[in-house]
Amino acid sequence: MSVTSDVVWSEQGTTPDAIEAALRELLVQRHAENGNFVPARVLNMIAFVDREWSGEIANRLRGVGRYHASRLLVLSYEPGRERLDARVMIASEGEPEPGELALLRETVVVEIGDRHLDDLLTIADPLVVTDLPTLLWSPHGHEGIVEVLLALSQAVLLDSVEEPLAREALDRACTLTEQAYVVDLAWLRSTPWRERLAAAFDPASLRPELREITAVAVRHHQASTAAALLLAGWLASRLDWQVGPLAADGDALAGSVHAGAQDVALRLEAAPELSVPGLESVTLETASGLRVGLRRGTGGLRANWRDHEGVEREWTIPGASRGEAGVLGEGIRQALLRDPTYVPALMAARGMLP
């Protein structure tokens, strides 16, 4: 089933009650049309967006495919707007085959203005499904609004590389972790890197090398310093390193952290050639001469390995790029999970800010 079919309701000058009634009515209609239409009940997502950029956000959300939240509430904000308008869409991916079910996903777009901000909770609350977890996303900032809507949310989605300054990004993430589970897209982009570094040291014979790391170098997109700090923070928190502020060195951050028996030299450097957010390469060296390197490659990460005798090997670890839509989809999925390693990594990353 790939063709999407929608039923739509819209009203100008509407109320949350009317919108909620329309949702119920559309569900009844769809079910009457075909008893095999079933509403998904997984996750609410509230997206607070600036109306002028709402098209771009809609495109990004369309790209997440099956990771679409089961109910998406878009609060589209337009300064100066007086009237509350709304559109409700209930979509399914085609008609159900006999004996099979077709899931329904609900999207509610509410157009709001300044005068609605004070009572935003009373608009949003009736429009999320009770007892489902709710993920909050405010891609255009609006920290004050986020504070308000956190009352309805258990998880908040952010992207630490979208803040212009790494310090602001990490501070903001830290503040939010005190109130909700934070899903950070900058963290999720680094998952394949973390998986492969974990795998490199997984053989029992190599695990002691983790205590012998002497140097870590990370190259990253120019605007992704926060992502590089999070990766370094992950290593530091997992390996119990005592971190301190790094120093600016041109386009790079450099310094050392204390790792028990030895210091670890850290260098986080911008890679001007990288055109997408995230990391370009990671290299770890140990006191015994082992070097483990990963860098972006075609069809997966390219591994570079130098053993204790100095013999070098290179190979590709297959893996398809998820693209930014895939990363966003993964972010939505992660709202239902819990990664206990993010907050310690974030704290360590903050400790390394110059």
Partner 1 sequence: MAAPTTEQDNPLTAGLERQPVAPTTLVIFGATGDLARRKLLPALYNLAHDGALPERFHMVGVSRKHKEDAEFRTECEDAIRRFSRRKPDEDVLAGLLANVKYVGGTFDDDAVYSKLSTLLDGCDEQAGEPLNRAFYLSTAPSFFPVIVGELGNSKLARHEGADVRVIIEKPFGTTLEEARELNRCVLAIFEEPQVFRIDHYLGKETVQNMLAFRFANGMFEPLWNRNYIDSVQITAAEELGIGSRADYYDSAGALRDLIQNHMLQLLCHVAMEPPVSFTAEEVRNEKVKVLQSIPQPTPADIPEMAVRAQYSAGHAGGEDVPGYLQEEGVPEGSITETYAALRLEVDNWRWAGVPFYLRTGKRLARKITEIAVTLKPVPHLAFSQDGSLGVQPNQLVLTLQPNEGVSLRLGAKIPGTRMIIRPVNMEFLYGTAFLSQSPEAYERLITDAMRGDATLFTRNDEVEAQWQICDPIVGTWARTPGPLPQYEAGSQGPEEAGGLLREGDRWRAI
Smallest Cα–Cα separation from 15: which of 74, 79, 84?
84
110 binds partner 1 (CB under 8 A): no
Instruction: Select 77 or 241, whichever has its Cβ closest to partner 1.
Output: 241
| DSSP, res 348 | H
Contacts of 203 (CB under 8 A, 6+ apart): none
192 binds partner 1 (CB under 8 A): yes
Instruction: Select 160 or 190, whichever has its Cβ closest to partner 1.
Output: 190
Instruction: Select 113 or 326, whichever has its Cβ closest to partner 1.
Output: 326
Instruction: Select 113 or 177, whichever has its Cβ closest to partner 1.
Output: 177
Torsion angle of the four alpha carbons 123, 128, 131, 135, in this order, in degrees rounded to the nearest 10: -100
41 binds partner 1 (CB under 8 A): yes
Q: From 24-32, 47-55, 198-206, 275-283, give the range in contact with partner 1 by CB under 8 A.
A: 198-206
Q: From 48-56, 78-86, 100-108, 158-166, give the range in contact with partner 1 by CB under 8 A.
A: 100-108
Instruction: Select 130 or 298, whichever has its Cβ closest to partner 1.
Output: 298
- State the alpha helices, DSSP H only, in 78-156: 114-117, 120-124, 143-149
Interatomic CA distance for residues 213 and 261, integer angstroms: 10
**What's the min distance (Å) between Cβ of 72 and partner 1?**
13
Cα within 13 Å of Cα(279), Cβ side: 29
250 binds partner 1 (CB under 8 A): no
Smallest Cα–Cα separation from 118: which of 145, 139, 156?
145
Instruction: Select 68 or 140, whichever has its Cβ closest to partner 1.
Output: 68
Identified binder of partner 1 from the candidate list 7, 89, 91, 317, rule CB under 8 A: 317
Identified binder of partner 1 from the candidate list 18, 40, 148, 223, rule CB under 8 A: 40
* Contact by Cβ (8 Å): 18, 11: yes
Angle between helices 54-62 and 323-334 (to 10 degrees): 80
Interatomic CA distance for residues 273 and 164, integer angstroms: 19
202 binds partner 1 (CB under 8 A): yes
> What are the residues binding partner 1 (CB under 8 A)?
38-43, 66-67, 70, 99-101, 103, 191-192, 194-204, 207-208, 210-211, 235, 237-240, 298-301, 303, 305, 307, 311, 313, 315-321, 332-333, 336-337, 339-342, 344
